[in-house]
Amino acid sequence: MKYVLLLVFALSLQLGVAQDKNTKDLDSILESMPKSEGLISTYFEDEKLYFKFPEEVLEKDLLMVTRLKQLPANYSAYTNAGSKTSEQMIHFVKVGNSIDLVQVLTTNIADEEDPISLSVAQNNLNPILASFPIKSEEGDDFVIEVSSFFNADSPSFNIVPDRLKKEYKIGKADDKRSRINAVKSFPQNTEITHTLTFPTGNPPRGNSTSTFTFQINHSIIALPEDKMQVRYEDSRVGWFGIRKYDYSSDALKADEVRLIRRWRLEPKDEKAYARGELTEPKKPIVYYLDPATPKKWRTYFIQGIEDWNSAFEKAGFKNAIEARVAPTKKEDPDFSPEDVRFSTVRYVASTTRNAVGPSVSDPRTGEIIESDIIWYHNHLRSYRNRYLLETGAANPKARSLNTPEEEIGEMMRRVISHEVGHALGLPHNMKASSAYDVESLRSGRFTQKMGIAATIMDYARYNYVAQPGDENIRFVRQLGPYDDYAIEWGYRYFPNSTPEQEREILESFVDERSTNPLYMFGGRGNDPDAQTEDVGDNSVKASTYGLSNLKIVADNLIEWTTPTGENYDDLEELYGEMLGVYRRYIYHVVSVVGGVHETLLHKGQDGIPYKVVDKADQENALDFLSENVWTPQYWLVDKDLVSKFAETGKLESLIRINKGVLNRLTSARRLKLMWDTHSTLAGNGLSPQELLNMLTEDIIYSRTAPDQVERELQKHLVVQLIELADEEDLPLELKGHSLSLQNELLSDFKTRAGSEDAELKAHYSYIVSLLEKAQTEEK
């Protein structure tokens, strides 16, 4: 026994000596490596990366944000340098001789003093993303090696979504062509940049290497020790939020709680703020312009960002948001757009025609920490084209593809304002465009003051209502009264008030305003007042004005797009988009049929939350469609225009649009919804049977000598009626009504089939055969 003890003692001495030697060897290695001190001190050289952090960082609330810094060409339309791929709260946790990297789940919550908090913890175990052996422990400091973790395609990074892995047949990351590039630590964050390379079996066109290489940036940042006070959502005011389930709620359930996402704005001088004086915030919201932003556009970008200061003044803050040009490397070598301490407006060289406004927020409270507005270069093209098509009839400045710089700049300014609105916490508000009377959009005095919609957060880009001869019209959107209202609701500062007390104050604020159309909020749904790309409170009237203008544009499209000596490529592009504008105006009216007005209300407010669109309004919409769709719009396929670029003609395009409109109106989903809402919701609407009767009258019975376009539409309606009778989910009475219409049409078409006109005779005989075949199959 004595010998065994001695042997164990000797082995332990050897092990201790070995561990001590390994620690000394590591210390020696670290001393020779470049070091960056900060939240997590880092040692990085020759693709070896070590983290060294004090015990106080263990189990500290951290946020890890992963972004693409560089990516392959033609990879994905809405993915670019700066795109965020993951955002997760993490902890470093010491477990024995290892440090675990744990993702912290924050959705389910409970009061720590409440016994149910034990169950919440047991049923929401945090996943372990990685585990690292402790290489060295010096007092309260721990050293781990993280090289392999950042050189791998960790699922938690979500670098390449599963959808794209399947589409491009992407394999595993190639270790030999993947590496850590750079590491930098700061007092509140640590930045790691690395490269991942993947083989791909089905690369996009132009990629002959069958390889995708990405450069990725990870930001690990310390979340605020002093948590921002939360603000509870009010569904009547549009706001991005985070959802939590409170198991300590007094409600007899796991109570869903929604907190809004907003920046922390606190007045420098609280006494002055309390007196109602405009006060600067302790920390303003600052955006840096990407150095890649062309100099001629920078002024407009700055204006678009700082336009929101007028809204913040309604919340009591002045100079709350500002724009700066990003410093050069010489001015600030530590500045990086990927660093989450800096919010930026990124200018992306891409053929994508869009802009976006994402942000990063504290998952515990909703505090927005950073955001990156992204402008895609080719978005200029979208705005140039639509400016001409939608306003050219009444706006001489729009009658060219060489749009004046100040006009394009104004459009860019408003796009940036829209995206900054998202980054401030505001979602789209499609209801706002219906706040203004259509006729007011023809008034210079009104539009110059109020804009063309009650918010910049709607998709109401241009005033297509104003007519030739209307004077001093504003054609481009701007911030409106809803923006002032929403920002005041979200950012008004209440010192010494609890979230519950704030909620009570703010509910009264909304109660007094939310039924006023200027302050209404709404999504798309089935509400014709909450559509994208529309303006005004009456879709039929607005689209009538819009089509009147579009006909003028069509007559002048060659002159306005094609200078002498040029080919017709631009004309062809604008023509295709003109058909899209026509379709959009038509679909604005289609949404009236079977629509339901939605008004977000709380009990005690006057009004009815859901009410079907009045029958007279729906019939008016159908009259509009009869005149502007079912009656062929040959001005859209004018020979002098189409012959300049189309080898095969465009009649089929017109027919396709008509069929699409009919499909929307006669879809089983719409008819079933109308059948339900007509019987159960407030208001006097149109029944689905009445809709089918009116369509049959307008498309078939009223057209005694249909031309080729009308004949195609008649055949399509008959096919739709036949298919409706076979639709399983359709109520029996609607199926029966479809069969009844088929019987009536069969009798009528048999009579018409005796026509002496050969084309009409063939048309009617074909429809008779369709209906007889359907009857045979039904039996």
Query: Among 275, 259, 257, which residue's Cα sits nearest to residue 267?
Result: 275
Strand-pairing partners, residue 374, are 346, 356
pLDDT in tens, 323-345: 999 888 888 887 877 677 788 88
Give the pLDDT of residue 358.
Answer: 75
Instruction: Judge whether residue 13 has pLDDT over 50.
Output: no
What does the pLDDT average to over 628-638?
Answer: 97
Supply the DSSP symbol for 224: P
Q: What is the percent of the chain where pLDDT is above 70?
A: 90
| Mean pLDDT, range 472-490, rounded to an integer | 97
The amino acid sitting at 701 is Y
Q: Closest by alpha carbon to 101, among 129, 74, 82?
A: 129
Confidence of residue 186 (pLDDT cuts 50, 70, 90): confident
The rounded distance, in Å, linking the Cα atoms of 655 and 206 is: 36
pLDDT at 480: 97
In this prediction, residue 468 carries a pLDDT of 98
**pLDDT tens profile 394-429:** 999 999 999 999 999 999 999 999 999 999 999 999
pLDDT band at 17 (very low <50, low <70, confident <90, very high): very low
pLDDT at 43 over 50: yes
Span 205-216, mean pLDDT?
A: 86
Confidence tier at 715 by pLDDT (50, 70, 90)? very high
E strand intervals along 549-598: 596-598
pLDDT at 636 over 90: yes
Q: Say how many C-beta atoms besides its own lie within 10 A of residue 547's C-beta.
A: 19
Identify the residue with better confidence: 54 or 474: 474
The predicted structure's pLDDT at residue 273: 97
15 pLDDT above the threshold of 80: no
Report residue 474's pLDDT band, with 50, 70 and 90 as the boundaries.
very high
**Residue 453: other Cβ atoms inside 10 A:** 28
Kindly report, residue by residue over 345-396, the tens digit of the pLDDT.
887 666 565 666 778 899 999 999 988 887 776 567 888 899 999 999 999 9
Min mean pLDDT across 16-20, 188-192, 214-218, 488-492 is at 16-20
Question: Residue 753 has which token pair?
Answer: 């089939």
pLDDT at residue 176, as a whole number: 87
User: With bands split at pLDDT 50, 70 and 90, how would you rate the model's confidence at 5?
Assistant: very low
**Model confidence, pTM:** 0.88
**Reported confidence tier of residue 124, pLDDT bands at 50, 70, 90:** low
254 has a pLDDT exceeding 60: no
Q: Are 247 and 254 in contact (CB under 8 A)?
A: yes
CA distance 623 to 629: 10
**Greatest mean pLDDT range, 1-5, 183-187, 210-214, 527-531:** 527-531
Confidence grade of residue 741 (pLDDT, cut at 50, 70, 90): very high
Q: What pLDDT does residue 465 have? A: 98
On the question of pLDDT at 698 being above 90, the answer is yes
Note the Cα 471 to chain centre separation in Å. 35
- Host H or E run for residue 506: helix 499-511
Average of pLDDT values for 552-568? 95
Going by pLDDT thresholds of 50, 70 and 90, the confidence category of residue 252 is very low
What pLDDT does residue 109 have? Answer: 46
Contacts of 409-413 with CB under 8 Å at 24 or more apart are 409/296, 409/297, 409/299, 409/300, 410/300, 410/476, 411/383, 411/387, 411/476, 412/297, 412/300, 412/301, 412/304, 412/375, 412/380, 412/383, 413/300, 413/301, 413/303, 413/304, 413/307
What does the mean pLDDT of the chain come to? 89
Q: Report whether 665 contacts 695 (CB < 8 A).
A: yes
Q: Which residue has the higher pLDDT, 15 or 37?
A: 37
Contacts of 7 (CB under 8 A, 6+ apart): none
Please determine, for residue 214, whether its predicted confidence score (pLDDT) is greater than 70: yes
pLDDT of residue 24: 58
Please give the pLDDT value at position 154: 79
pLDDT tier for residue 250 given thresholds of 50, 70 and 90: low
Distances (CA, A) of 169 to 75, 76, 161, 719, 771: 13, 14, 12, 41, 48
* C-alpha Rg value of the chain to the nearest Å: 32
Q: Mean pLDDT over residues 617-621, rounded?
A: 98
